[in-house]
Amino acid sequence: MPRYKLTIEYDGGPFAGWQRVATGPSVQSTLEAAVEKLCGEGRDVVGAGRTDAGVHALAQAAHVDLPKPLEADVVANALNAHLRPAPISVLSAEIVADDFHARFDAVHRVYRYRILNRRADAALDRGRVWRMGRPLDAEAMDDAAQALVGAHDFTTFRDTHCQAKSPVKTLDVARVLRFGEEVELAFEARSFLHRQVRSMTGTLAEVGMGRMRVRDVAAALAAKDRARCGPVAPAEGLYLVRVDYAAK
């Protein structure tokens, strides 16, 4: 039974997140419906990460086992045909080893958060950015973000419903840059806690608005107290950029 690795792009707006749920359509369940149309039987599609409702992906990774071998491009093209008009695209499919696991074999994940920093509402990117009308000091945000880099107990930035066994994670990159009216935050790590990126983003935005000082972020992290976290940034500005795997 061949296993395929899928690279997937999607607009998270219409979905209740990646994971299959009973309350509405998810990216996973929509993909699984397309797989069933392709092969005539139900198959689990296992993702590299369980993005929340409204979170987008530029290159989510997943794997699926099909009952018979097919050319990789046939799988990608057929799934895309069955997915229309849902805002999900299979960018590529490739045959991988039977023991490949999209979630547990991932060694690096990259997220990006987009803030549109202007008074006027987003017309073209509505639902894809967090529009903030108050001016943001991106340099101060970037300075504060460096306190988060490294191995830490991220309890302060951990959702209360997080199911991870430990709050300790190693954040490899935390960067904040301004590109005209847009402020972009980038975070890279092997793995993240539930809503960790959105929690860190909301706290750094408080620094950008002058409501918190740069040193307050380090103090909040050290406190290991969820009450010290700033408001959680909305899902619509968050993108899973890519998932990396070790070469074999």
Indicate which residues carry an active-site annotation. Answer: 52
Contact 240, 60 (CB under 8 A): yes
Contact 128, 236 (CB under 8 A): yes
Closest CA to 43 of 13, 79, 7, 80: 79
Tokens representing 192? 């993240």
8 A C-beta contact, residue 51 and residue 12: yes
Q: List phi, psi (to 5°) of 94.
A: -145, 145
Report residue 228 CA to chain centroid gap.
23
Copy the structure tokens of residue 183.
């402020």
What amino acid occupies position 42? G
Work out the angle at residue 183's Cα, subtended by the Cα atoms of residues 188 and 176, and round it to the nearest 5 degrees: 40
Other C-beta atoms closer than 10 Å to the C-beta of 74 total 12
Residue of 234, 82, 221 lying closest to 146 (CA atoms): 221
